[in-house]
Chains A and B, each alone.
Chain A
Amino acid sequence: MTEKKPNTVTSQVQNRRRLGSRAALFAGFGALLILMAIICIDSLHTLGEFQTANTQIRQDFLYRERTLEQVRAGLYESGNIVRDYILIESDADAQAMLRTEFQTIHNETTATLNACIQSLPTVKREPFQHLAVELENYWSTIGPIFALSAKEKKELGNSVLRGDVLSQHAKILAITKEVRAVNNDELNEAERKTTEVFAQFRRRLLMVATIAFSSGLILAASSIMYVGRLENSLEKKYKESLQAQRELKELSKRLVDTEERERRAISRELHDEVGQSLSALLLDVENLTEMSIDDGVFRKGLQKIKTLAENCVNEVRNMALLLRPSMLDDLGLVPALEWQAREVSKRTGMLVDTLEENVSDNLPEEHKTCVYRIVQEALNNCSKHAYAKNVRVVVRQEPNHLRVSIEDDGKGFDPSRVRGLGLVGMNERVSQLGGALKVDSDPTRGTCLRVDLPLPSASSDSGELTA
């Protein structure tokens, strides 16, 4: 309990650290993803804007071009109309039509130009306004021509045409050229600006991408390091647990060995020393009884000693047998198992049947003990937990295997859920000899325990009894 506390604290600290690293990684990757998303959205947005701006510029430019074109067309057309008007002398209808036509052109051109001016921002209006003023001059120069009488027309017509109209024409055309140049400049300027914006966008994109890439690199590196560290600690833990498992196995083996050794030593001691001494004592008592003169009291005393000693011998023998039956060492596995079966039958009323097939008397020591103890434990379970009426113990020796099965007709159990210490102990003994133990049981029927022990090849021959 006292050792458990610091362990818990350490594991808590480790837990917290692990959680911290995990949170940092999550935050890092999250930020990286968000950054990349922002780059994407920003780029799409900027590209969209860029395209819109480009289209707008083009449209504006074309609109102004068209306006200028219309102004020029209006100029030429109005010139033609004036010339025709002056040349036509008598046809009043034609003159009226020309006048109307002129007026229409005048109005349309002025309206178009004004609309164009209105659509422009104030700073850019100046050249167009200049054009509008000149155009207005032109109209006001030409307008009066339509008011002339036929006579005046004849006198003034040509000079007006050659003089005012043509000079105005030339002037306005010059202005339209200028305006067009201005318009071109404007276009170039706008394009230069968008190019610049685009370059800026590229720089920004490059920067953000660089940041994202490098932070991604850093994140990747740190996660690799983190995973590496985890792997290392995991491997260390795994090795530690393997080591602990090995040590535990070794320990339990030694425990089992020691227990068996001690039992045998005590059993031998009881049997050989105490038992034999008591036997000798009994002989001496018998000798004394025969030698003594017929004294009733003395004989009675000797008889009492004899009875006591006999009881002692029985007691000692039973104790020794319970610890480790001497048959196992004196006679071999089969007689020991048969004795055990008889003893259990006698003690519990459960009928134990043993069947030995081809079992050699000189099995290796560990195998004898292992099988004997497993049968002992199994019979114990049969009577104590299963309340069996019949048990059948079969031991069969094959060239390289010793197979044992203990089958009862008692109350079974669910081996996947019940795992008593007895079964664990049996398993331990069996696995120490490289064997396998299988429990086949079911609450609705009895239990069958099967053990398969590999035999070292030297002991597989059916040999003779040894001391």
Chain B
Amino acid sequence: MKKLRILLADDHIVVRTGLRALLERQPNLEVVGESENGRETVELAASLGPDVVVMDVGMPILNGIEATKTIVTQRPATAVVILSMHADESYVMRALKAGARGYLLKDSAAADLISAIHAVSQNKSFFSPKVSRILAEDYVRVLKQKGAVDSYDLLTNREREILQLVAEGKANKEVATALNISPYTVETHRRHILEKLNLHNPAELILYAVRKGIIS
């Protein structure tokens, strides 16, 4: 089996060392490079062509989120997992908007990183359970304070199925195959879902799914 090629981006050498030790014990993973700032990461991603980039958020010169944006645009085949200290929505949202597929908290990186790398390499989304929990809790709290009805109830069963698949990172075609319907129908459903939930882009949709505990 072909090993997954991984690029580590973190400005702290101790963190990189720890991550490398963790990853190299896995037989099917290979760390192909390390970088300590955003720009270097973008350059290495271009020259090494890794399958997955494990990216710190706070890095000098160019931060992790900006670097993610560039890498995802330049090499759509490369998946990015964000490593962050913060479980807050603002970070998660930015990371998703930038095109990251995974979002991990540093304090739980060791436990989740391997699963996250495998998930994103298969084009799925992955979040630390703690992130999902915090986002969901915040969402529920706001709903309670505002006394609003749960928008999820507005969705049909078919729309809920599609929401889950889309949030997992599946393209329209894949969803269509899985549900045995036309990709155009999927697109229509997607548009309806966004309208009903008052969302504006795929990143918000993924975030919504995480909050609702539809994906983790």
Chain A contact residues, CB within 8 Å of chain B? 271-272, 275-287, 290-291, 309-310, 313-314, 317, 326-327, 330-331, 335-336, 338-339, 342, 345-346, 349, 351, 464-467
A271 — which chain B residues lie within 8 A by C-beta? 58, 85
The docked-state distance in angstroms from the alpha carbon of A346 to that of B134 is 11
B42 — which chain A residues lie within 8 A by C-beta? none
B58 — which chain A residues lie within 8 A by C-beta? 271-272, 326, 330
Which residue of A284, A291, A351, A465 is within 8 Å of B65 (Cβ)? A465
Could you say which of A290, A327, A331, A346 has the most chain B C-beta atoms within 10 Å of its C-beta? Answer: A331
Considering the complex of A and B, which 6 residue pairs feature the smallest CB-CB distances, nearest first? Answer: A283-B18, A286-B110, A335-B90, A280-B14, A279-B106, A276-B12
14 A-B contact pairs sorted by A residue (CB < 8 Å): A278-B107, A279-B15, A279-B109, A283-B22, A283-B109, A287-B22, A313-B107, A326-B85, A326-B86, A327-B88, A330-B58, A339-B88, A339-B90, A342-B138
Which residue of B62, B85, B86, B89 is within 8 Å of A467 (Cβ)? B62
Closest approach, in angstroms, between the C-beta of A307 and any C-beta of chain B? Answer: 10
> CB-nearest residue of chain B relative to A272?
B58
Count of chain B residues with Cβ under 8 Å from any Cβ of A? Answer: 40
Closest approach, in angstroms, between the C-beta of A281 and any C-beta of chain B? Answer: 8
9 new A-B contacts, CB < 8 A, other than A276-B15, A335-B90, A467-B63, are A276-B14, A283-B110, A290-B25, A310-B108, A330-B65, A345-B145, A465-B65, A465-B66, A467-B66
Would you call B107 and A282 a contact (CB within 8 A)?
A: yes
B63 — which chain A residues lie within 8 A by C-beta? 330, 465-467
The docked-state distance in angstroms from the alpha carbon of A228 to that of B25 is 91
> CB-nearest residue of chain B relative to A353?
B146
Closest approach, in angstroms, between the C-beta of B106 and any C-beta of chain A? Answer: 4
Would you call B90 and A286 a contact (CB within 8 A)?
A: no
B19 — which chain A residues lie within 8 A by C-beta? 283
> CB-nearest residue of chain B relative to A313?
B107
Would you call A345 and B142 a contact (CB within 8 A)?
A: yes
Would you call B15 and A283 a contact (CB within 8 A)?
A: yes
> CB-nearest residue of chain A relative to B69?
A465
Q: Hey, what's the 0/1 contact readout for B51-86 against A, CB within 8 Å counting as 1?
A: 000000111111101100000000000000000011
The docked-state distance in angstroms from the alpha carbon of A342 to that of B106 is 22
Would you call A345 and B21 a contact (CB within 8 A)?
A: no
The docked-state distance in angstroms from the alpha carbon of A294 to that of B11 is 34
Would you call A283 and B21 a contact (CB within 8 A)?
A: yes
Knowing A283-B22, A317-B85 touch, does A466 contact B66 (C-beta < 8 A)?
A: yes
The docked-state distance in angstroms from the alpha carbon of A464 to that of B180 is 41
Would you call A335 and B17 a contact (CB within 8 A)?
A: no
B173 — which chain A residues lie within 8 A by C-beta? none
The docked-state distance in angstroms from the alpha carbon of A359 to that of B59 is 24
A326 — which chain B residues lie within 8 A by C-beta? 58, 85-86
The verdict on B141 contacting chain A, using a C-beta distance below 8 Å, is yes
Would you call B109 and A282 a contact (CB within 8 A)?
A: yes
Knowing A271-B85, A327-B90, A345-B142 touch, does A282 contact B106 (C-beta < 8 A)?
A: yes
The docked-state distance in angstroms from the alpha carbon of A276 to that of B11 is 9
Would you call A280 and B145 a contact (CB within 8 A)?
A: no
Would you call A338 and B89 a contact (CB within 8 A)?
A: yes
> CB-nearest residue of chain A relative to B87?
A317
Could you say which of A272, A277, A330, A339 has the most chain B C-beta atoms within 10 Å of its C-beta? Answer: A330
The docked-state distance in angstroms from the alpha carbon of A452 to that of B56 is 36
Would you call A336 and B90 a contact (CB within 8 A)?
A: yes
The docked-state distance in angstroms from the alpha carbon of A433 to that of B169 is 45
Using a CB-CB cutoff of 8 Å, which residues 20-68 of chain B contact chain A?
21-22, 25, 38, 57-63, 65-66
A280 — which chain B residues lie within 8 A by C-beta? 12, 14-15, 17-18
> CB-nearest residue of chain B relative to A306?
B110
The docked-state distance in angstroms from the alpha carbon of A317 to that of B85 is 7
Would you call A465 and B18 a contact (CB within 8 A)?
A: no
B138 — which chain A residues lie within 8 A by C-beta? 342, 346
The verdict on B111 contacting chain A, using a C-beta distance below 8 Å, is yes
The docked-state distance in angstroms from the alpha carbon of A317 to that of B105 is 12
B85 — which chain A residues lie within 8 A by C-beta? 271, 275, 279, 313, 317, 326
B109 — which chain A residues lie within 8 A by C-beta? 279, 282-283
A278 — which chain B residues lie within 8 A by C-beta? 107
Closest approach, in angstroms, between the C-beta of B12 and any C-beta of chain A? Answer: 4
Which residue of B15, B66, B91 is within 8 Å of A327 (Cβ)? B91
Would you call A287 and B14 a contact (CB within 8 A)?
A: no
Could you say which of B61, B62, B89, B106 has the most chain A C-beta atoms within 10 Å of its C-beta? Answer: B106
Would you call A335 and B25 a contact (CB within 8 A)?
A: no
The docked-state distance in angstroms from the alpha carbon of A284 to that of B16 is 11
A349 — which chain B residues lie within 8 A by C-beta? 145
Using a CB-CB cutoff of 8 Å, which residues 83-106 of chain B contact chain A?
85-86, 88-91, 93-94, 106
A314 — which chain B residues lie within 8 A by C-beta? 107
A272 — which chain B residues lie within 8 A by C-beta? 11-12, 58
A276 — which chain B residues lie within 8 A by C-beta? 10, 12, 14-15, 106
The docked-state distance in angstroms from the alpha carbon of A118 to that of B150 is 137
A338 — which chain B residues lie within 8 A by C-beta? 89-90
Closest approach, in angstroms, between the C-beta of B86 and any C-beta of chain A? Answer: 7
Would you call A287 and B25 a contact (CB within 8 A)?
A: yes
Knowing A272-B12, A280-B17, A283-B22 touch, does A331 contact B141 (C-beta < 8 A)?
A: no
Would you call A465 and B94 a contact (CB within 8 A)?
A: yes
Could you say which of B38, B85, B106 has the most chain A C-beta atoms within 10 Å of its C-beta? Answer: B85
A283 — which chain B residues lie within 8 A by C-beta? 15, 18-19, 21-22, 109-110
